[in-house]
Amino acid sequence: MALYVHKYGGTSVGTAERIKHVAEKVKKARDQGDDIVVVVSAMSGETNRMTALAKEMQSSPSLREMDVLLSTGEQVTISLLCMALEGLGCPARSYTGGQVKILTDSSHSKARILNIDSDKINKELEMGKVVVVAGFQGVDEHGCITTLGRGGSDTTAVALAAALKADECQIYTDVDGVYTTDPRVEPNAKRLSRITFEEMLEMASLGSKILQIRSVEFAGKYNVPLRVLSTFEEGEGTLITYEEAGMESVLISGIAFNRDEAKLTIAGVPDEPGVATQILGPIAGANIEIDMIIQNIAGDDKTDFTFTVHRNDYEKASSILQNTCDELGAREVVGDDKIVKVSLVGVGMRSHAGIANTMFEALGKEGINIRMISTSEIKISVVVDEKYLELAVRTLHDVFELNEEKSD
């Protein structure tokens, strides 16, 4: 007998009919003799709807109260799913994150899981029940409700799978696996039967929202077998694995993109030791995360300094930078919040030169100007104007031969 953790996302539980469909799937899995723990998200659109309601009360509500509010979305789906399961004659019990003691730190809206008490779940499983746990939430040491950040139900599922030593954590969603890029942007994208943790982590960090970054980190760290599959179609999905010797090493596994970026430049700053920290210190002090950084010598002992931030932090970062500009006697601050980052990811890049050049050439041919570049062992990212996002993704998808082979 095996133990599986299933996770169903917002679209998969978006209507009463869909919740019943999930109940049937879960029952079928259990009827095969396995133990099943289910993690569910809020019904699709609910988390956004509640966030908008909160904004009507206060422009920036306290994160503690936001967590109390948003955690209710998942509480609705756990109870409905249990009712649907019981209706099918399948014994089931629902639990909120706090009830099964998913202990987190106290950073509201982006809490980290510290510990999970698996006793209660194990007891229910022993009694032959399906256990349904609310995703995305936990409780801190003071008993306050916390949430794990958008997409956090993925992390709940993986963390539970690790704590319960599950045989596999299965993430059921509205696509039938991880694709070479978001199929909504490139309809010719191809499903990958396997992807390494390392590549999946890069894809998630670089903007692919199919899995929350922390869920992939967790799975890699605790060696949780992780699979992404469709709620609506049968299939093998995509298995996320360690790199194995002899595994066919593809050059490029996928293309990720991030629409949430903005860039800022402070021009004509003195080229002296300590300037970088004078510029970035106040930004970090305001809790703004910085992504790419470039510095270029402009001549006359002056330099230009450019970095990217999340688009939501653009206004705040601009005004902080304007202050720094005045203090340093720099020339000016210029910014652009209509940019995106497009990245190629693949472990095969380690042993191949020339990929960056092929990428830049392909983008150049399409008249797409590259504004910033950043590379690491297994990825190359470029920042381009927002209007070129689709063109850049499709061009690269084509050039690196990632398209689904057409059988005609």
CB of 191 to ligand ADP, least distance (A): 8
Question: Does residue 175 touch ligand ADP according to CB under 6 A?
Answer: yes
Burial tier of 64 (Cβ tally within 10 Å: 0-12, 13-18, 19+): middle
Please give the C-alpha separations between residue 192 and each of 195, 201, 294, 310, 391, in angstroms, as whole numbers: 7, 15, 34, 29, 22
Q: What, of Mg ion, ligand ADP, ligand ASP, none, does residue 184 touch, CB below 5 to 8 Å by kind?
A: ligand ADP
Question: Does residue 146 touch ligand ADP according to CB under 6 A?
Answer: no
Please give the full DSSP string across 130-142, using - where no structure is assigned. Answer: EEEEETTEEE-TT
Give the orientation angle of helix 389-399 with respect to helix 355-365, to 10 degrees.
130
- How many residues of this chain interact with ligand ASP, rule: CB under 6 A? 13
Q: Which of 237/335 has CB closer to Mg ion?
A: 237
Q: How many other C-beta atoms can be found within 10 angstroms of the C-beta atom of residue 328?
A: 16
CB of 153 to ligand ASP, least distance (A): 3
Residues 116/132, Cβ–Cβ less than 8 Å: no
Residue 99-138 contact track with ligand ADP, rule CB under 6 A, x = bound: ----------------------------------------
Task: Figure out which of the listed residues 5, 132, 169, 178 binds ligand ADP, where binding follows CB under 6 A.
Answer: 178
Give which of 405, 407, 406, 403 is closest to 254, Cα–Cα.
Answer: 403
Give which of 261, 258, 251 is closest to 345, Cα–Cα.
Answer: 251
Question: Does residue 158 touch ligand ASP according to CB under 6 A?
Answer: no
Question: Does residue 47 touch ligand ASP according to CB under 6 A?
Answer: yes
CB of 112 to Mg ion, least distance (A): 18
Contacting range for ligand ASP; rule: CB under 6 A; set: 41-49, 272-280, 318-326, 381-389 = 41-49
Contacting range for Mg ion; rule: CB under 5 A; set: 4-12, 331-339, 360-368, 390-398 = 4-12
Residues 93/109, Cβ–Cβ less than 8 Å: no
Please give the C-alpha separations between residue 15 and each of 11, 135, 262, in angstroms, as whole numbers: 8, 17, 36
Residue ranges binding ligand ADP (CB under 6 A): 9-12, 41, 151, 173-175, 178-179, 181-184, 208-210, 254
Residue ranges binding ligand ASP (CB under 6 A): 9-10, 41-42, 47, 73, 135-136, 150-154
